[in-house]
Structure 1
Amino acid sequence: MTDVEQLEATWEIKDVLAVNNMTERFGCAPTSRQIHVLVVVPRKSELGWQSARLRPHIYDPGAKYFLLEKEVMDDSGLPPSRLMLYCRPMFHKQIEFMLKNVLEEGHLGWILGSPGTGKSATAMAFALTVDRRAWVVTWIHVDKYLGWRCVRLVGDERKTRVIDITELKQVLEFGDDTKHHLVLVDDWTAADSFTDLTVMCTEWFLQKDIVMKRRLAFICSVADRGKISDNLELMTRAMECKLWSWTLDEYLEATSNDDIFNNVFPYLDASGLSSADRSTIVQTKYHYAGGSCRYMFCFSTARVMEKLSHAVDSLDVASVAITGPRSSLSLNCVFAMFKGTSGVSTVLHVVSGYAAATIGIRCSPEIIKRFMNTNQGSSNPVLNGWMLEMIFFSSIREGSLDMVDAAGNKTGNWMKGTLVVSDGVPSLPADRHIWIKPEKWNKGGYDAIMVDKGKRQVQMVQVTSSHTHAFHINYFNSWLKPLSESRESFKIQALDIIFVVESGKLKDFVISTVTGQGKLKSFGWEPFKEKDRVKVVGIRRREDGTLSQMGANAFQLHGITMRSC
């Protein structure tokens, strides 16, 4: 090959061939009448990488915790900080799926779950434990608005760089034909901006190597990847791994580890009491974060409320009815996936109690119907309680609400009224009643207060789906006392405390613990007999389990009988 710098502008191809003794090889030389074109192919430039040493990591199927050091999180698209993972059952399920179904059997893997399930962190843990003597692991964290963070694990080396779609082919075809290649695409969605990425990765995966293996898995930021052609499913031998969202028990178990608890403590701020016991701190934040460990461990309570409020305000019938868990990321955070009644199936559910109550307060009856149709099949009383709150607040805002006893007989009703969200004492009109929902959550107190200043009546309501519930009088008195000292004060002639319970649990419902006896004496409640004054009312489920249109003569919603006004 003649160096391009040695060529003279007047040279013809025959001259080059002669100089390099190539005439004999080609059999003849071009004539002078022929047009000669010299094509100089530029050398392919290699991608530049930042490189660092990487220590070995081992996966233990029986481990309870897995440490991701800061240096393995940097430049990966994941939070650049040290992360101690609690190895809940879903952690091991995902690791075993990626090891057996993806790495060993060669299926195209799809890791699915609602935001905050822990899919990405678990996938990174898996990537670190792959045998790098035989495998090269390429991690690509995609983003709609930023460059894609690429991490390559080769032997004892960790390489990083930012790439885009023009460099993807070169990343996939990295040129080492002595090792197998595993590619993990993190934070994938079915967005149009990732179409080329999906096509290129899938085409690369489908190429057959005689000796070396190609493996591919998408770690999705959504619970459902959308409609996929049957032909593509068969060609790629695709398999899904659906992961359930976090439960309260898993949060409690995770935070029993001092390292984890101390690391996430700044975000467990919902109770406002730094001196509260660990269980109370976690349970209070759970009301807001629900099944999302990202909300639980990575965001303050105020930020979680802001994000969920924005998402709920963005809800519309089309998004819930048509796209559901595949909706935009702002809507996607309203959903979570939990274990169904069979213990194997998955049920799509609203993510938290705060989200459910916010939907009940702000959304239309049509939206509530859509959620009712979607959020079914759970045996978890906590999830049922969230739905009950959603229904309750929607009911008192949009229509009148009947209370029933264990036999289904009507025992009273609440009329439609204005709903105010406040932890204090709002302005109380004298000519009509209003409903007050506390902004802060406390596990032992009330969920709503009905105040009729004109009739001098107060009703404090606790909604529960459990068989038992504690009665902490201090929580109720903590609102009544400020009322009596405020400018809105009036002499309460009728104070009722009402527990709203599912009809199936009404007969056996028990008030388990009573504390703060005597605090309601000034309101006419005899000390140590408060438990006898509490009203327990049932709710009954309509057979079809759905909502009727507002404006119908009457309908029932999860057992609460509603009538249009």
Structure 2
Amino acid sequence: MRGLLVLFACFKRPANVQFADGRELDGSFCGAFEVARSLTPLTCLSGGFQTRSAQTLLDNPESDLRNIGNVRECLTLRGGDESSEKGVEKEIKGLQKEIKSVKKEIKSVEKEIKSVENDIQVVEKEIKSVGQQDPRRHAELREDKEQLRKKEEQLRKKEEQLRKKEEQLRQLLLFREGSLQKSPLSGASIAWTESDAGLDRVGLCNDKKYFRVDTSYLMVIGDGNSRQERLLYCREAFLKQHTFLRERVLDRGALGWIMGSPGTGKTTATLSFLLMLDMNEWSVTFIRLNAVADGFCVQVAGSTRRTCVIERITAGKLVETLLREWSNGNRRFVVLDGFLGHQPNHWEAFDACRRWRDIDRSNRRLVVVTSMASRDKIYYHEDKLLQLEEHLVVSWTIDEYLQAVQSDEFYEEVESMLEMDLGLLDLSRLGIKKMQLGRSKEARVRQKHYLAGGSCRHMFEMSAYDVVKFIHQAFRSVPDLELIFRGNIGASSTQLVNRLIATFAIDGEVRWLPASEYISWKLMHEIEAEELKRVFSKYSISNAAVKGCLFEMIFFKEVQRGLRLTYRRSHNRPREARPWKGHSVVFFDPLQGNHSLPRTAVCFRPISELQGGYDALIVDKNAKKAVFVQVTVREKHALKLSFFLDALTALGIPPGRAWKVEIIFLIPNQRMPVFRISPVEDCGALEGYGWKKGEEKKKAKVAFPPLN
């Protein structure tokens, strides 16, 4: 018979108290154990505890300190009466106030420590100055230094005690917040649909280069009978994400926080990891939240899968309820996907997941997946308390796309999405002439990459028409396009800036750049040249990736208007050349070959932003002149001659003396004194075009455009 009983806990205050999850409150913190007393009287449902009955909890609780954890779990899961909840809310406010006071005291101690350290430095300097000339004064200074050291040691001990007290207060705060969860009797109802999990059809395949997944796990709620399999390419970032989930979250119990630009594959990599777990040991819950539409939940326990809709408005309560009703006895793994920091209901869902995890951290795992690039303000001590660890997923590169389509099965799945209708791009409006399209799988990937850039969603899941529509919508939503170069896509952003940005790891640092060449060209068209130069001047040279992107955009803007260059000379003043005429831009793929030369002078732009050797090739058929331009903001740059030869061959420019071939390194003015060309690769590759082997470095020119 089930009924309500009143749980009275009369605990004594021991020297040390340890919760069920291993966290400990020591006796030096006078108010720590009062939490046990403050739990009474609270109502609980008898016979409803997961591990122990209510009667067991009442039997001499102080004889087993683990009972405290069980009481906490009981109260957190089953809830209390209204008067008790008000008391807990009051206590929570008191704890928050005390934490704030302790933090203020810590800052005061830190300031005092710094003052003592400065005093020690002054004394040490005086000791060095006095030396052995005045033994008496030297001894006095030594004694002063010793006293200061003791004072510093005392202050550091005080700081340590305060930080320990702060952590204990935060533990209590988490504890009391957990006790406020509502009874399931008043929670939102959930309508589940069950089906076979179908785990025998998922897993690594094709020499572990791909992962086969059931698409119904990714996008639909239904009976699970109409299913379609799909291959995921296991690129390096995919494998690194699996390593993070296995080593940091699964093995060490961290709260995983996975970030990255949209379209990096964060969700699919996380889901594939869940489906690889041993379902005899683990049961998993995948919760997908959306900004506007309702979300969904997929739960797998053993060989059974069940799904439900997560209504957007009540997402927090629904998540709280489904976690509370999760009765499977296995260890449990929850993923909260699609988290957006500016959505209050997403925070409610996260808080429900966080409290659920805190009840039993040894057997519960939690991962948050978000397209936001940061968590806004970060509090180190809170992260430490939560055991929160971040993982950043970088965007896709052209090489990874090309490797992915090597599987015929994979290519057949995505082939229809690689179709490009150039009429959609409105290239003429951007000052670009029509590019030639190849039909090989590699050529089609390179062409779609111009539009999709670092987003595999844009590359493989969306048509060119939908991608263009998507990008244009994002442009309309961004009031200040400079946000794109700041990487301003933090947790509080309500704009669509992140749709225009890709995340790259460059020289060990994370950089946010325009997601594709098409986006770069639209930016160049939307922003006036003077505004581009103003934004360029705001970034330091050390931020090479962002500054390089802006510098390249300025170059192509000036190419269309008419470029003016000033050349560096060895011993004389820089020489300003006559301005070039304005040129139209033609995108081309040097790997395709058989490109016909237009009658008028044009600027060829490689379709891949990762093209080696050069960024532009200006060709004048009538003047028989080809000028390669490499745009860079770095102190040195390699001269890779084989790339120049490939381009000349692809355009049908024959070797000999008929054509004049030039190479120009375009750099910012402030780099002129220090810039150098190094190393030189493939020496002799251009001998047929008048470039003597071993003298290529001397023949290459260095110039800068006016930016004022």
- Please say whether Structure 1 and Structure 2 have the same fold, judged by a TM-score greater than 0.5: yes
* Shift in CA distance, 49/472, structure 1 to aligned 2, threshold 3 Å: same
Tell me the equivalent position of 1:336.
502
Task: Specify the SS of the correspondent of 2:565.
Answer: strand
Structure 2: any 5+ residue segments left out of the alignment? 4-183, 423-435, 673-701
Q: Is the 8 A contact 1:139 1:183 kept in 2?
A: yes
Q: 2:287 & 2:651 partners in 1: Cα distance?
A: 60
* Shift in CA distance, 352/322, structure 1 to aligned 2, threshold 3 Å: closer
Amino acid corresponding to residue 214 of structure 1 in structure 2 = R
Amino acid corresponding to residue 287 of structure 1 in structure 2 = Y
- Please, what TM-score do these two structures have when normalized by structure 1? 0.69
Tell me the equivalent position of 2:603.
461
Decide which of 510, 513, 535 is 1:349's aligned counterpart.
Answer: 513
Tell me the equivalent position of 1:70.
215
Decide which of 188, 192, 206 is 1:49's aligned counterpart.
Answer: 192
Tell me the equivalent position of 2:417.
267
Amino acid corresponding to residue 533 of structure 1 in structure 2 = K
* Shift in CA distance, 286/175, structure 1 to aligned 2, threshold 3 Å: closer
Task: Specify the SS of the correspondent of 1:267.
Answer: helix
* Shift in CA distance, 542/300, structure 1 to aligned 2, threshold 3 Å: farther
Tell me the equivalent position of 1:537.
664
Tell me the equivalent position of 2:470.
307
Alignment of 1:226 onto 2:371: no
Decide which of 99, 103, 128 is 2:275's aligned counterpart.
Answer: 128
Q: 1:532 & 1:143 partners in 2: Cα distance?
A: 58
Amino acid corresponding to residue 247 of structure 1 in structure 2 = T
Q: 2:627 & 2:588 partners in 1: Cα distance?
A: 18
Q: 1:427-442 alignment to 2 at 5 Å? A: 435-438=583-586, 442=589
Tell me the equivalent position of 1:501.
630
Alignment of 1:207 onto 2:207: no
Q: RMSD in angstroms over aligned alpha carbons?
A: 4.3
> Residue by residue, what CA displacement relative to the aligned partner does 1:410-451 show, whole Å, maximum 9, x if unpaired?
463547xxxxxxxxxxxxxxxxx755345x6555799xxxx9
Q: 1:535 & 1:167 partners in 2: Cα distance?
A: 66
Q: Whose RCO is larger (CA < 8 A, sep 6+)?
A: 1
Task: Specify the SS of the correspondent of 2:564.
Answer: strand
Shift of 1:463: 5.2
Task: Specify the SS of the correspondent of 2:321.
Answer: helix
* Shift in CA distance, 508/153, structure 1 to aligned 2, threshold 3 Å: closer
* Shift in CA distance, 350/216, structure 1 to aligned 2, threshold 3 Å: same
Q: Is the 8 A contact 1:112 1:219 kept in 2?
A: yes
Amino acid corresponding to residue 474 of structure 2 in structure 1 = A
* Shift in CA distance, 268/175, structure 1 to aligned 2, threshold 3 Å: closer
Shift of 1:355: 1.7
Tell me the equivalent position of 2:645.
512
> Residue by residue, what CA displacement relative to the aligned partner does 1:282-314 show, whole Å, maximum 9, x if unpaired?
112222211111111112234333433443453
Tell me the equivalent position of 1:172.
323
Q: 1:171 & 1:544 partners in 2: Cα distance?
A: 60
* Shift in CA distance, 411/252, structure 1 to aligned 2, threshold 3 Å: farther
Task: Specify the SS of the correspondent of 1:136.
Answer: strand
Alignment of 1:198 onto 2:354: no
Shift of 1:72: 3.1
Shift of 1:48: 2.3
Tell me the equivalent position of 1:92.
239
Identical columns (%)? 23
Number of residue pairs matched by the alignment: 457
Between 154-163 and 220-229, report the one with greater CA deviation.
220-229
Amino acid corresponding to residue 333 of structure 1 in structure 2 = R
> Residue by residue, what CA displacement relative to the aligned partner does 1:328-347 show, whole Å, maximum 9, x if unpaired?
462102211122214xx322
Q: Is the 8 A contact 1:95 1:123 kept in 2?
A: yes
Tell me the equivalent position of 2:705.
561
> Residue by residue, what CA displacement relative to the aligned partner does 1:246-269 show, whole Å, maximum 9, x if unpaired?
111111110001011111111212
Q: 1:3-14 alignment to 2 at 5 Å? A: none
Tell me the equivalent position of 1:139.
286
Amino acid corresponding to residue 339 of structure 1 in structure 2 = A
Tell me the equivalent position of 2:305.
158
Between 44-53 and 399-408, report the one with greater CA deviation.
399-408
Q: 1:216 & 1:470 partners in 2: Cα distance?
A: 45
* Shift in CA distance, 154/370, structure 1 to aligned 2, threshold 3 Å: farther
Task: Specify the SS of the correspondent of 1:461.
Answer: strand
Q: 2:575 & 2:369 partners in 1: Cα distance?
A: 51
Q: 1:466 & 1:397 partners in 2: Cα distance?
A: 21
Amino acid corresponding to residue 660 of structure 2 in structure 1 = R
Q: 1:417-496 alignment to 2 at 5 Å? A: 435-438=583-586, 442-443=589-590, 458-462=600-604, 468=613
Shift of 1:563: 4.5
Task: Specify the SS of the correspondent of 1:150.
Answer: strand
* Shift in CA distance, 320/393, structure 1 to aligned 2, threshold 3 Å: same
Structure 1: any 5+ residue segments left out of the alignment? 4-40, 416-432, 452-456, 481-491, 520-526, 546-557
